[in-house]
Amino acid sequence: MAAAPDIMRSPRAPSPSHTVSEPPASLNPAQLEAVHHLGGPCLVLAGAGSGKTRVITHKIARLLQAGYAPGQIAAITFTNKAAQEMRERAKALIGPKAAKPLVVATFHSLGVRILRGDGERVGLKEQFSILDSDDVLGVLKDAGATTDNALARRWQWAISSWKNQGLSSAQVEPANDDERVAQRVMQRYEERLAAFQAVDFDDLIGLPMQLLRRDAEVRGKWQEALRYLLVDEYQDTNATQYEMLKLLAGERALFTAVGDDDQSIYGWRGATIDNLRRLPTEFPTLKVIALEQNYRSTGSILRAANAVIGHNPKLFEKKLWSAFGDGDPVAVIECDGEEHEAERAVARIQSQRGQGGQVAFRDFAVLYRANHQAKVFEKALRKASIPYKVSGGQSFFDRAEIKDLCAWLRLLVNNDDDPAFLRAVTTPKRGIGHQTLSSLGEFASKWKTSLYEALFAESLGTAVPARAIGSLHEFGRYVNDLEYRARHTTGAEDAKALLLGWLKDIDYEKHLYDGEDSEKLSAARWSNVMDFVDWVAKRCGGEIENDGGLSIETERKSVLEVAQTISVIISLAERGDDQDVVTLSTLHAAKGLEWPHVMLAGVNEGLLPFLSGDDEMTPQRLEEERRLMYVGITRARTTLAVSTLRRRKKGRDTVQGVPSRFIGEMKLHEVQTKEDPRAKLKALREAAALRAAAVAPTSP
């Protein structure tokens, strides 16, 4: 058995009756109730902008006060960015020393932690490989004997969906011929992953779940290690994530789930709102606490949000309110078409910036349902010389051709990087098929070596046919030679020559053109490759720059040195969120973010709610689209504009635009009774005081 995680232990879980100090003044009554509930399962219904991260970090502090060791507390998020924010906030509240042992992780990184510790129990070596989406696509194309990217992606989606339901290929019950084919591909895919000692992102949840379910010893170890669980964005969990959390919590059920049923917008990738429905049933002692005070938006914006989401059936009652007053009314802008809509957006930005004050470009966001809607806004913003960034689209460094080249460079730096090896050895193809790689993977696993190291093992001939060994050795020798040359090549000019020579050696241009039906698309991809070559070469230095009249040669670096820092370079190139630019974003990518001024674009039937082709608008789909509208509305702090099109493009045609039903549901023209936020806050405090008095121990 692998060693238990390095944690600080307490003899038992702290008593829920532990003495509580005076509550922090920064928390409202509902937040305080959530922070101090330690004795059992807790669901915090955190409405948009209601301070959920503040609740989680203060609850961490409360748990430490109650006797938990930092290493026994796990705060689980969905994104690295959210995890980093939570870690920084916790550090600011409890200090760096206490914060360091905290387990603040994404679901996937927690899965990696479990598999690194106990993965041998499901047949994984400690240094298993994690395949990204493009790696998976390549393996699936090989497993299904196809070069059709679209078909392979459909398999990828189907397999991911099954895995998120906790199903293996043997457990899948195909509903039609397409699913039967996908099931057979999934079976071969599973065999290849096992041979490669590799997992995909879905496995990082599914395998730990299986391990915890089947192995009582491992389950007990991790339940003892992680004694209290805090789960952020709980409404976005899928079936396997829910089961994994349930197994980690065990019978003690000491957890706090923080989520919002009104912001469940990821059903298309396996998230299920049923996980919220199950909690009260499976945990009868569940404490449900609603955070309704919004610290982000004005009253006008929140009334519109409440009105829209009120048309969905409610799992739990919750209604957002704000102490900020009404603010500006929500504006509805009718536009002739997409170009006119973009012009109106630009004019709105220019007008609000021209009203005085310190209104920056970063204060504005244009949000839309689909990526293709960004193009016309980009054109209008460029014309007006307004800086912008596009969120939710594909980064340059996420393109398949760039990831191919980065895999080669990663392999030069670290020969033991198995995912990089798998991508490099098959891109371009060089007569090394999946059977050879499967045998190589089994051999490497048996002798606990990396795939690259296994190439040169004297006994490799016992596992791999002689003809295949020749191809593998040829690849290995080329990598060795390229690494030597990369180590000794410095300066931009020589670096570019080396990189271009390498691309010619592996015939990468031919690989791109052979892999695409469209010559135009192939040319665009090759242009990206040339941009990448220039980008890397430039960072090798040796170029003459003028500095105040002096000619200075930039610092020379080897190609290998640049390759060693490639991830850092990429992160710097993908500049951070502090740029003074307008944000263009899909509604999905905007979740969790906020801006003072927001414009929701293309709020038309067919766009929002989205309907494609012959798809049927089921009640479930409509509810999720309505939640997406709610998310968009609640991104706005100060002003919100909703634009609709009189005419819109549909494919190559122009059709009459019908305003979205969601605009009517906002009830913008109804006279509404305005709440007094001060009276509301007073009533909440009085109710909290009464509850506290009711549970206080009586004197003997």
Please pick, among 635, 637, 639, 648, the residue that the annotation labels catalytic. Answer: 635
Please pick, among 263, 293, 489, 583, the residue that the annotation labels catalytic. Answer: 263
Determine the Cα–Cα distance for residues 444 and 455; give it in Å rounded to an integer: 9
Q: Are the CB atoms for 195 and 123 separated by under 8 Å?
A: no
Q: Which two tokens stand for residue 126?
A: 């400690």
What torsion, rounded to 10 degrees, do the Cα atoms 226, 232, 234, 237 define?
A: -70
Please pick, among 53, 156, 426, 639, the residue that the annotation labels catalytic. Answer: 53
3-state secondary structure 647-673: EEEECCEEEECCECHHHHHCCCCCCCC
DSSP 285: T
What are the start-end ranges of the H helices in 283-370? 299-309, 338-353
Interhelix angle 107-118/203-214, rounded to 10 degrees, is 50
Please pick, among 33, 118, 135, 233, the residue that the annotation labels catalytic. Answer: 233
Strand partners, 198: 129
Gyration radius from the chain CA atoms: 28
Residue 52 annotated in active site: yes
Q: Which two tokens stand for residue 521?
A: 């698309």
Which H/E stretch holds residue 488? Answer: helix 466-488
- Three-class secondary structure of residue 67 per DSSP: coil
Token pair 């923080």 in the structure block, residue? 258
Residue 180 annotated in active site: no
Please pick, among 31, 52, 260, 262, the residue that the annotation labels catalytic. Answer: 52
Residue 135 annotated in active site: no
Residue 53 annotated in active site: yes
Amino acid present at 562? V
Q: Are the CB atoms for 132 and 225 separated by under 8 Å?
A: no
DSSP 66: T
Q: Are the CB atoms for 59 and 230 separated by under 8 Å?
A: yes
Residue 59 annotated in active site: no
∠ CA 505-508-512, rounded to 5°: 165
Report which of 254, 313, 199 is spatially closest to residue 12, judged by C-alpha positions.
Answer: 254
Q: Are the CB atoms for 331 and 639 separated by under 8 Å?
A: yes
Give one DSSP letter per residue of 189-258, joined into a string.
HHHHHHHHTEE-TTHHHHHHHHHHHH-HHHHHHHHHH--EEEESSGGG--HHHHHHHHHHHTTTT-EEEE
Please pick, among 232, 262, 338, 625, the residue that the annotation labels catalytic. Answer: 232
- 447: left (phi > 0), else alpha (psi -120 to 50), else beta? alpha
Q: Are the CB atoms for 447 and 457 separated by under 8 Å?
A: yes
Instruction: Label the pairing between strands 550-553 and 544-547.
Output: antiparallel
Q: Are the CB atoms for 359 and 669 separated by under 8 Å?
A: no
Helix %, strand %, coil % of the chain (to 5): 55, 15, 35
Q: What are phi and psi of 321, to 5 degrees?
A: -145, 160
Residue 538 annotated in active site: no
Q: Are the CB atoms for 61 and 276 separated by under 8 Å?
A: no
Q: Are the CB atoms for 452 and 425 separated by under 8 Å?
A: no
Residue 645: C-alpha distances to residues 332, 338, 445 (Å) = 11, 7, 59
Q: Are the CB atoms for 637 and 297 separated by under 8 Å?
A: yes
> C-alpha 677: how far from its chain's center?
35
Token pair 């532990």 in the structure block, residue? 18
Determine the Cα–Cα distance for residues 310 and 585; give it in Å rounded to an integer: 25
Amino acid present at 63? L
- Three-class secondary structure of residue 547 per DSSP: strand
What are the start-end ranges of the H helices in 515-558? 519-538
Residues designated as active site: 52-53, 232-233, 263, 635
